[in-house]
């Protein structure tokens, strides 16, 4: 007797492959997107206090109310565009769960979902498992700018959803105000749902402002925003995130959420709520990561790698075309095995495995780790 899942052709993802190689060959791991420094001890203490104070049973299905109120306050502070904590904010088991549940709630068989590539690898499988059809928009290196005329041409009567990601993983680019206005215009007077993945919202560099979907009224009315405390507060292993949307959309989301997860780690939620009372915990993050980016790029400025400085996220894309013509997956593996430095090849996120001879490096690391990685890159 043979059985196949709904995703029979999905292969082991590149993060597992590259981290496995890094562990096997004791390489510096700049592949998977997680910090190698500790969370703020104050946050850990708040979570411990919550455990010791009895926050160890189920939270409300929508999430701890104090945390939802802190999120609403943050949106009002940053964007002057808030969400109602009772009906428009839901705490999730990481942003990936939020993304999966948004897609599951709205995408039916043969619905089309526009995905801008290179794209984070959870989008397309989530569409496929719900019977939807991914429709790709391929961005071109090194600028990775969206051609909105192409998006317009690919919108059809079957388009149910458009997924955007800003700041963008893996390219490190950001959508500007004009990008968001064009998206708003293209979706106006349609039934298209927008899924705006904004997990790196607090990592935007060089004085630029994050252009959240909530800043644009018509866009906000049709959008889910997904976010990640793990990315923001250096604790990806806690797997706590959230999503925001207008009440009528959130009602439908929660119909899936209640059977998928129902509620999320309660003491962590309480600890996060207490921690976020101090807005500097997230307001100072862009400066912190810009220093990391600038250090990393200054250390490799004389290497053979070419780069356009990351505009956001904690990832930097490096062009290796002057070093070798190898397929990026092969070069990434060789860089790990022979030189002791792990990265992520971008072709795996592209349509038809398009290879632009670029690798993605995570700079959410200690300064010492970045210096060691730079020494390797400078000697290639």
The DSSP secondary structure of 204-242, one letter per residue, reads B-TT-----GGGSHHHHTTEEEEEEHHHHTT-GGG--EE
Please, which residues bridge with residue 115 across strands? 136, 163
Shortest CA distance to 46 belongs to which of 277, 241, 201?
A: 277
One domain for residues 26 and 80: no
The domain tally of the chain equals: 2
Give the pLDDT confidence of 243-267 residue by residue, as tens digits: 999 999 999 999 999 999 999 999 9
* Final residue before a domain boundary, out of 279, 307, 341: 279
Residue range(s) defining the domain that contains residue 354: 14-32+284-378
For 60-113, write each residue's pLDDT tens digit: 999 999 999 999 999 999 999 999 999 999 999 999 999 999 999 999 999 999
Q: How many CB atoms lie within 10 A of CB 120?
A: 20
| 3, part of any domain | no
Residue 331, pLDDT > 80, answer: yes
Residue 11 has pLDDT above 90, yes or no: no
For residues 321 and 251, membership in a common domain is answered with no
CA atoms within 13 A of residue 214's CA, in its CB half-sphere? 26
Q: Are 317 and 170 in contact (CB under 8 A)?
A: yes
Q: What sign does the dihedral 42-212-257-65 (CA atoms) show? A: positive
Between CA 293 and CA 296 the distance in angstroms is: 5
Confidence of residue 2 (pLDDT cuts 50, 70, 90): confident
pLDDT classification of 329: cutoffs 50, 70, 90: very high
Query: Is the pLDDT at 273 greater than 90, yes or no?
Result: yes
In a domain, 8, yes or no: no
- Domain assignment present for 161: yes
Burial of 322 (0-12, 13-18, 19+ CB in 10 A): exposed
Q: Do 71 and 170 sit in the same domain of this protein?
A: yes
* Domain finish residue from 279, 308, 334: 279
- CATH number for the domain that contains residue 138: 3.40.640.10
Cα 97 from Cα 130, distance rounded (Å): 14
The CATH code of the domain that includes 348 is 3.90.1150.10
Same domain flag for 53 and 81: yes
Mark out the alpha helices in the chain (DSSP H runs): 14-24, 41-52, 65-79, 94-106, 123-129, 148-154, 177-187, 217-220, 229-232, 247-260, 266-275, 280-283, 285-299, 328-339, 367-378
339 and 355 fall within a common domain: yes
Q: What's the predicted TM-score (pTM) here?
A: 0.96
Whether 301 and 201 share a structural domain: no
Run of H or E residues at 116: strand 112-117
2 occurs within a structural domain: no
Please compute the mean of the pLDDT values over residues 124-143 and round it to a whole number.
Answer: 96
Question: Looking at 251, 279, 307, which one is the last position of a domain?
Answer: 279
pLDDT over 90 at 312, yes or no: yes
Query: Of 116, 77, 17, whose CA–CA distance to 330 is shortest?
Result: 17
Which of these, 280, 311, 261, lies nearest to 43 by C-alpha position? Answer: 280
Give tens-digit pLDDT for 219-250: 999 999 999 999 999 999 999 999 999 999 99
Instruction: Give the relative orientation of helices 14-24 and 328-339 as an angle to the nearest 10 degrees.
Output: 20
pLDDT mean over 331-355: 97
- The reply to whether 4 falls in a domain is no
Mean per-residue pLDDT of the chain = 97
Based on the domain organization, do 137 and 191 belong to the same domain?
yes
Q: What is the mean pLDDT of residues 183-208?
A: 98
Is the same domain home to 143 and 157?
A: yes
Question: Is 86 inside any structural domain?
Answer: yes
Q: Which of 64, 147, 56, 161 has the alpha carbon at shortest distance from 104?
A: 161
**89 and 166 assigned to the same domain:** yes
Q: Is residue 1 predicted with pLDDT exceeding 90? A: no
pLDDT at 368: 98
For residue 287, the model assigns a pLDDT of 97
**Tokens 């009602």 correspond to what residue?**
251
**Same structural domain for residues 129 and 148?**
yes
What is the structure's pLDDT at 12? Answer: 86
Same-domain pairing of 322 and 200: no
Regarding whether 318 and 334 lie in a shared domain, the answer is: yes
Is residue 217 predicted with pLDDT exceeding 80?
yes
Asked if the structure places residue 5 within a domain, the reply is: no
Q: What pLDDT does residue 81 have? A: 95
Q: Is residue 356 part of a domain?
A: yes
Summarize the confidence of residues 270-292 as an average pLDDT. 97
**Which residue in the block uniquely carries the two structure tokens 């862009």?**
286
**pLDDT tens profile 163-179:** 999 999 999 999 999 99
pLDDT reported for residue 9: 87
What pLDDT is attached to residue 195?
98
What mean pLDDT comes out for the span 3-17? Answer: 90
With a cut of 80, say whether residue 214 has pLDDT above it: yes
């Amino acid at each position: 007797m043979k059985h196949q899942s709904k995703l029979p052709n999905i292969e082991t993802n590149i993060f597992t492959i590259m981290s496995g190689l890094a562990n096997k060959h004791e390489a510096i791991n700049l592949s998977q997107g997680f910090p190698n420094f500790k969370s703020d001890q104050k946050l850990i203490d708040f979570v411990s206090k919550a455990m010791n104070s009895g926050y160890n049973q189920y939270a409300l299905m929508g999430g701890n109310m104090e945390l939802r109120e802190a999120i609403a306050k943050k949106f009002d502070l940053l964007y002057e565009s808030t969400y109602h904590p009772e009906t428009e904010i839901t705490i999730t088991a990481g942003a990936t769960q939020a993304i999966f549940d948004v897609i599951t709630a709205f995408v039916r068989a043969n619905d089309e979902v526009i995905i801008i590539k290179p794209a984070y690898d959870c989008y397309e499988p989530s569409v496929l498992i719900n019977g939807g059809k991914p429709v790709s928009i391929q961005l071109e290196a090194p600028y990775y700018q969206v051609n909105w005329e192409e998006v317009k041409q690919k919108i059809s009567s079957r388009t149910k959803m458009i997924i955007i990601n800003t700041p963008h993983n893996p390219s490190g680019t950001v959508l500007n105000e004009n990008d968001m206005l064009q998206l708003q215009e293209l979706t106006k007077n349609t039934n298209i749902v927008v899924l705006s993945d904004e997990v790196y919202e607090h990592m935007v560099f060089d004085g630029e402002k994050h252009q959240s979907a909530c800043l644009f009224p018509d866009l906000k009315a049709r959008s889910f925003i997904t976010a990640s405390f793990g990315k923001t507060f250096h604790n990806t292993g806690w797997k706590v995130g959230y999503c925001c949307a207008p009440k009528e959309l959130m009602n439908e989301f929660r119909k899936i959420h209640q059977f998928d997860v129902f509620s999320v780690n309660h003491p962590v939620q309480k600890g996060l709520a207490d921690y976020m009372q101090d807005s500097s915990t997230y307001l100072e993050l862009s400066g912190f990561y810009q220093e990391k980016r600038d250090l990393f790029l200054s250390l490799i400025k004389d290497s053979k790698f070419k780069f356009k400085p990351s505009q956001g996220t904690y990832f930097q894309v490096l062009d290796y075309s002057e070093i070798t013509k190898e397929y990026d997956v092969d070069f990434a593996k060789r860089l790990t095995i022979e030189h002791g430095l792990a990265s992520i090849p971008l072709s795996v996120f592209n349509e038809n495995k398009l290879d632009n001879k670029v690798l993605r490096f995570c700079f959410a690391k200690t300064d010492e780790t970045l210096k060691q990685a730079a020494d390797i890159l400078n000697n290639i």
